[in-house]
Structure 1
Amino acid sequence: MFFDVDGTLVPRTSSSVFLAGFLGHHDGLARAEDAYAAGEMDNAQVSELDAAGWAGASEEQIREWLIDLPLASGIAETVAWCHTNHVMPILATLAWTPVGSHLADRFGFHAFSGPRLETSEGRFTGRVAHHFDEHDKRDFAAAQAQALGLDLHSCGAVGDSRSDLPLFASVGLSVAFNASAAARTAATTTVNSDDLRDVLPLLNRLITATR
């Protein structure tokens, strides 16, 4: 089962905008993310703008700030349910890899995706080391499914926005969680909730259907 981060596990905002509040470029990044959602910018453009604001920040400081990242309720319980029911929970996200790493370690996600920032001697340089867009997210999910011996169509995805659309088109169950109009239209079903556990009845149906 693939879970998005920004707008899904991190409600009503993104991990990048949250961190930009500490890094000093919150308003500019928020406008850029709105432009991405509207199709006016691509992910590479937004990533480069955001990365520039990380210049000089330390990896340790980012980890400390991420402790207070706003999160939806029920993530730990949802991940635990997945493990109990032999469903592999994976983060399929465009969030920077320090965010994916933090959430995977904190909650027990099996793997995570995302773009990478360049670092030197423990500090960020302000440059992108590896870009990662919505199509890469789908391809990451396909590779993860293949490694687990699964067809991607037997998997599910929970997400909320433009970055989830290619993945939604490739999985058997797509859940638009507090999602944009485009994501709701593309998804199998929709859930509006402050608690991620409200997707579990849908995941249970996917398990039943594929066994």
Structure 2
Amino acid sequence: MGPLPDTAAAASATEPAGRIAAFFDLDKTVIASSSALAFSRPLLRQGLINRRAALKSAYAQLMFSLSGADAAKTERLREQISALCAGWDVAQVSAIVHETLHDVVDPLIYAEAVEMIAGHKAEGHDVIVLSATGAEVVEPIAELLGADMCVGTRMEISDGRYTGEVEFYCYGEEKATAARRLAETHGYDLDRCYAYTDSSTDLPLLEAVGIPCTVNPDKALRRTAIAREWPVLLFTKPVSMRTRIPSATTVALGVGVGAVAAGATWYGFRHRRKGTS
């Protein structure tokens, strides 16, 4: 098992012991697509969306993957999905997600992310997924990954149906707020915690932890990562979890967190503490 990164090792030697968590963004960090839009096809089959909406979602997903998710684009996607799901039956949506999870999401999961999660689990760290995608989608994916907890966007529900209003949008500063609340509740020392994300909109989350890591970063985040000497990881190998490991509960493989996953390239070989550049 490889050693922890240098900064984490130094922190362990000089600071009081505290629980450690690894916070993972979902879309384009753990999976190679938008998790919400990936379910367009099964939603179409079940009659929740029409073909025009499915094509629009496919186009939005293509633009999302080609040019990254800046604040304006993510907000447009949020508005589109919120308006689209107004009136949907919550139980039906949950059933569709669970029934099609392996077919839709399983092939999109990055092998490198699986290895990184396994390394954290092997070190005794909690793994937490934070995503702007709806909780009904995030929760089963997090379970598939073997994550300990997850936080996703919560839609308002009335009489078992979505109203189209958002109760909590797990995005931007709110994602960092969620991490702080979890740290307070579960006793995490954020200076010793990790965060992984691809988007510059998650900069508040990266700045909230002591060990920020970027994964397939957009242009703005890549510039920030290079300037602050944060690692830049390139995840390129989507692979089915069913062929990767026997089950989600066997995620604690003997892979050290300090060992860079296959295919990952580091720009910056030491972790800067929070507040330095």
TM superposition score normalised by structure 1: 0.79
1:178 is displaced (CA, Å) by 1.4
| 1:17 alignment counterpart | 37
> 1:3·1:157 contact (CA, 8 Å) conserved in 2?
yes
**Larger Rg belongs to:** 2
Q: How does 1:139-150 map to 2 (within 5 A)?
A: 139-150=177-188
Separation in 1, partners of 2:40, 2:188: 37
- Higher-RCO chain (CA-CA 8 Å, sequence separation at least 6): 2
| 1:113 alignment counterpart | 151
Separation in 1, partners of 2:257, 2:40: 30
SS where residue 92 of structure 1 aligns? Answer: strand
> 1:47·1:128 contact (CA, 8 Å) conserved in 2?
no
SS where residue 31 of structure 2 aligns? Answer: coil
Which has the higher mean CA deviation after the structures are superposed, 131-140 or 16-25? 16-25
> 1:63·1:98 contact (CA, 8 Å) conserved in 2?
no
Separation in 2, partners of 1:190, 1:88: 22
Match of 2:57 among 15, 19, 26: 26
What residue identity is the alignment partner of 1:16? A
| 2:232 alignment counterpart | 190
1:129 is displaced (CA, Å) by 3.8
Aligned residues: 204
TM superposition score normalised by structure 2: 0.62
Separation in 2, partners of 1:77, 1:19: 25
Match of 1:166 among 198, 204, 209: 204
Distance 1:154 1:98, change over 3 A: same
Q: CA RMSD in A?
A: 3.3
1:126 is displaced (CA, Å) by 4.1
Which has the higher mean CA deviation after the structures are superposed, 47-56 or 194-203? 194-203
SS where residue 112 of structure 1 aligns? Answer: strand
Q: How does 1:62-81 map to 2 (within 5 A)?
A: 62-67=97-102, 68-69=104-105, 70-81=108-119
Match of 1:52 among 83, 87, 112: 83
Residue 156, structure 1, aligned to residue 194, structure 2: yes
Residue 40, structure 1, aligned to residue 72, structure 2: yes
1:16 is displaced (CA, Å) by 1.6
Which has the higher mean CA deviation after the structures are superposed, 70-79 or 184-193? 70-79
- List alignment gaps of at least 5 residues for structure 2: 1-21, 44-53, 239-254, 262-268
> 2:29·2:113 contact (CA, 8 Å) conserved in 1?
no
Separation in 2, partners of 1:97, 1:51: 13
| 1:133 alignment counterpart | 171
> Structure 1, residues 164-188: CA drift from partner, whole Å, max 9, x if none?
2111122112111111122223331
Distance 1:198 1:132, change over 3 A: same
1:74 is displaced (CA, Å) by 4.7
1:104 is displaced (CA, Å) by 2.4
